[in-house]
Amino acid sequence: MVILVAAALLTCAGVRAADDAVPSPTPSPPPAAQATPATPAPPVAAAPKEQAKEPSPPPSVTVIGARDAHGILGRDVRSSANEDMGRIVDVIVDRDGKVRAAVIDFGGFLGVGSRKIVVDWNALRFAGVSSKSDSITLDLNKQQVSAAPEYKEDTPLIVLGAAGNLHPWDYEH
pLDDT tens digits for 22-52? 455 555 555 554 555 555 555 555 555 556 7
- Give the SS3 label for residue 14: helix
32 vs 124, more confident:
124
What is the dihedral angle through the alpha carbons of 96, 102, 105, 106, rounded to the nearest 10 degrees?
-140
> Whole-prediction pTM value?
0.59
Q: For residue 150, give Cα distances in angstroms to 8, 12, 60, 106, 117.
A: 65, 64, 40, 10, 5
Least confident of 18-32, 46-60, 148-162: 18-32
128 Cβ contact partners less than 8 Å away, ≥ 6 residues apart? 134, 135, 137
